Every structure is written in C-alpha cells, then in structure tokens.
Structure 1
C-alpha cells in the first residue's frame, strides 16, 4: 500500500475534533484530493510556510506546516499562502517532461552505501491534483469551509 496524504474540503459545520475518528467511507466532504507521500516529501520545506492548526490537540494550537503523521487543519488564515505555494509548484511542474524524474530522499542500501531515491511521477496527474488543491484553497477565503489533511 502506497503512503498517501488526503486533503478533504469540509464544511465549517463539521465537528473538527471528531472528524478524524470517521472511516473514509463515513466522512462527509465536498471534495477530496490525495497526494502521494513522495510528492509531499519533495515539497515539504515549502509546506512549512503555511499557517495551520492541529485538530488532534486540545484547543487546536496554531502553527505552520502539515502534521506529517497526523492531522492538519487549514482555514481562511491558511488560504492565500496555501494557494500560492501549490500554484508555484504547479507552475514549476508545468515545465517538466510528461514523466517527471525527481531526486527523492537519501536511503541506505544493504551494502551500507547510500543513494538518493528516484521519484517517477506523472506530470499531468500531479498538475491536476495541485489544481484541485488550489481551487480548494481559494474556497477557504470565504470562511465557510476547512481543508482537513490526514497524514500517513
């Protein structure tokens, strides 16, 4: 099973504190985008610039970046930076070949020699996913919805 990050566009009326307890089939949402973990890791540094909240902790403290292994809430305070970061990545990837070959994380082999992983991504699929996230981020501006991220 591939590691994935799910981004749900949910109405502001949803119970944020309990939303994570629902299974995927039980969740009510307006839209959903799933990004592969390899892509999230590739763009991780820029995700740390986005204002967020952690719904897994009482009083949902504000912070920056996604909770990689847990939950993240994006609200209207996140909207502009979230949109701009994903727009910048989309614009950059539009210049890539159809099959994007990217340098991933450094991993150790059995022979105790390390190397960088090679990430092979479909440019058109990645751009489509980013465009959906950009659209979701723009909907945050009116304050009537949240984006709820569920990490690996």
Structure 2
C-alpha cells in the first residue's frame, strides 16, 4: 500500500473534532486531493512556511503539516499555501514528462547507503498541484478549511 496524504476542502461550519470519522464520505467535503508521500517528503521543507493548526495538540497554532496526523489550513494559511504550491507547479512545468527526483537517504541490508530515486508522472503531479492551488484560493474568503490527514 502506498503512503498518501489526503487534503479535504470542507465548510467552515464543519465540526472538526468529529470530521475525521467521516472523511471518506463524499457528502462531508467539497473537494479532495491525494498526494503521494514521496511528493510530500520532497517539498516538506517549504510546507513548514505555511501557518497551520493542529487540532490534536494543546498548542494548536504552528507551521507545516502534522506528518502522521491531522493538520488544519484556514484563512490565515491561504496565501502562503497557494504561493508554495504555485511555486512547485511552476518549477515542475519545466520537468520532463517522467520526473526522476532524488529522495531520502536510505541504508540497504548490506549497510551501504544511497539516495532513493523517485519516479513521478509530471502531468499527474501538475494536476494535483493545480487542484491544491484552487482549494487554497477558496480559503481566502474564510468559509472553508482544508483538512489534511497524514500517513
């Protein structure tokens, strides 16, 4: 099973504490984008520039995504979220159709280390980024949240 991050556009009046139980019910969200973990790990440093909320901890305000849990993007997140995903979209537009990227450093069984090779379909990634940008733009009016479910 591939590791994925799900981003749901939900109405502001949604009960966030209850939402996680119903995320896969299409009636509970406006839009959904699923990003592969390899892509998230590749861009994760830039995600740390986005103000977010983590409803699962006492200090709710913060930056970046909760990799293993829940993250909430709101009106305050809108512009940085849109700008970060727009920048990645614009960069990846220049990539070949099959993107070969350098991933994390990993150790093999014989204790030799090497970098993972990530193979991503440029057009699929661009489509996902376009949808994330569109969802981020909807945050600006304060009527929506983006609810992120980590791996």
TM-score interval, normalised by the smaller of the two chains? over 0.9
Write out the 4+ residue segments of structure 1 that deviate beyond 3 Å after TM superposition. Answer: none
Deviates more, 1:92-101 or 1:10-19: 10-19
Equivalence map 1:64-143=2 (5 Å):
64-143=63-142
* CA shift in 2, pair 1:81/1:107, >3 Å: same
Contact 1:19 / 1:27 at 8 angstroms: preserved in 2?
Answer: no
- Is 1:63–2:62 an aligned residue pair? yes
Residue in 2 that maps onto 1:28: 28
**Secondary structure in structure 2 of the residue aligned to 1:2:** coil
**Secondary structure in structure 1 of the residue aligned to 2:39:** helix
Map Cα deviations across residues 13-70 of structure 1 (whole Å, 9 max, x no partner): 1101111133523761000000000000000000000000012235x61100000000
* Unmatched tracts of structure 1, length 5 or more: none
More helix by share: 2
Q: Tell me how far 1:98 sits from its aligned partner.
A: 0.2
- The normalised TM-score by structure 2 is 0.96
Residue in 2 that maps onto 1:17: 17
Q: Tell me how far 1:91 sits from its aligned partner.
A: 0.1
Map Cα deviations across residues 94-143 of structure 1 (whole Å, 9 max, x no partner): 00000000000011001100100000000000000000000000000000
